[in-house]
Amino acid sequence: MKIEIEYCVPCGYLDRAIEAQRALLTTFGGAVESVALVTGEKGVFTFRADGDTIYAKPDEYDITQIVEAVKARLAA
């Protein structure tokens, strides 16, 4: 599974994106192919798993829910 975290550069979301990337890599390690950071703009903060959106701002950001969504996809 490939995970993408697209974040808004002008908004300063890089730190949040790095923290989320670290949490996903720590939790799933070799079970995922990659957790890539993708630069964006206009307020974007979106997580995709194999191209499918699993989180998109303005939804309430909760890394625990994102981890659970990835876990469910891996189990399927």
Those residues of the chain that have pLDDT short of 70 are: none
For the segment 3-12, what is each residue's pLDDT rounded down to a tens digit?
999 999 999 9
pLDDT score of 38: 98
pLDDT score of 76: 87
State pTM to two decimals: 0.93
pLDDT score of 32: 96
What is the spatial distance between Cα 33 and Cα 59, in angstroms, rounded to a whole number? 26
pLDDT score of 25: 97
